[in-house]
Amino acid sequence: NADDHAPAPSERADQRTDERTDQRADHETAQQPRARIVWWQWLLIAAVGALGAGVLAGPALLMAFIMSEPDDVDAPALTDVEPAPDPADPADPAASPISAIARQVSPSVARVDVQMPTGAGSGSAVVYRADGVLVTNAHVIGASDQVRVTLPDGQSLDAEVVGRDEASDLAVLSVPAEDLPVPEWADASVTPEIGSTAVAIGSPFGLDGSVTSGIVSALGRTLPTGQGVLVDLIQTDAAVNPGNSGGALVDGQSRVIGVNTAIATGTGVGQGIGFAIPSTTVTSVADQLLEFGEVRIGYLGVVGQTVDPDIAELYGLPVDTGAVIVELDPEGPAGEAGLEVGDIVVDIDGEEVTTMADLAGRIQQRSPDEDVEVTVIREGEELSTTVTLGERPTQPAQPAPGG
């Protein structure tokens, strides 16, 4: 199921041959009041038919520029030429920043192997606490409890699944080990800069301790998946391949800024676009899983469809962006607050909503019992109402993708 039925790219970066990333939903089933106008029924049919669609627009382009000195530029006199510097010492971290980052963080990234009735797979995990606690992706371990962690020093240990959260695609593992090297996790005071160094460390294709580098390409990306919508993601062009899921994305100061979660591709092999869950989300979710065994997030109680110019023109809608409600739980928070099927949500607490993924992301970032102001367009008029969010119903763990 998916919140946003518009095409969106996503394919998990774990090592599975049958892997497919479904689109998730801020989507809770419930009885739906009868739509007041016929076109909503067609919109709902179109929304259901769009499930599972995911296409990444835009091929990657690689351009090389070769520049030479113009002929009419005079060469400096011999006496002005500076002596060539000595070759950089490969062992000097200053000579190779990426190798310095790898030396510091690689000992904190482990391989994860999972056994399922349908087969086996692997991914990565990052040390979270020195007493044997690691974080990985929920989709790496799926519903399996047969998880084994191989540490960089070669130790292979059975892991206990402390908790997993499908909505954030994060899970916490525990192994019987002490004094594990904990990397520096970037906190809320650290905001990655677009264009800054990004280093991905993990076990792609089961190759432990693999390191690739690139840059932070974008921030705040939204990615619909099988269990909801991943929000506020970091986009990177550092090569991320199957098995990198759950590994570390590290900045130029050797701080873990995210946990790699997905690649945008049609083949399961990285093609220049990878995504990572930001460290602030990781630490928040991990702490809740360790304390409560679950993550508590807000619940609105609607199923929606993104409004775009084509849909707006087709159905004569008054706006061409937003999230139109096509299903609603009459006893859920939205229903009790007076929202209706056909309402187009355009704003949550002063933050613009342009897609269903926006709406789902805004709600996922709120807590149960939190009041939010929801602005909608209804029959051409703008209305605002306060909704007290409920608690998201517990979702069963999904099997790890096969392959």
What amino acid positions are annotated as catalytic residues? 139, 169, 245
Cα 292 → chain centroid: 22
Q: Which residue has the tokens 């937003």?
A: 322
Token pair for 23: 């689109």
* Token pair belonging to 102: 């790898």
Which of helix, strand or coil describes residue 107?
A: helix
Q: Distance between CA atoms of 201 and 251, rounded to whole angstroms? A: 11
Residues 14/268, Cβ–Cβ less than 8 Å: no
Q: If DSSP codes are grouped into helix, strand and coil, which group holds residue 197?
A: strand
How far is Cα 365 from Cα 134, in angstroms, rounded to an integer? 23
**Other CB atoms within 10 A of residue 196 CB:** 13
Give the alpha-carbon dihedral of 247, 252, 254, 259, to 10 degrees. Answer: -20
Report the distance separating Cα 201 and Cα 196, nearest Å: 16
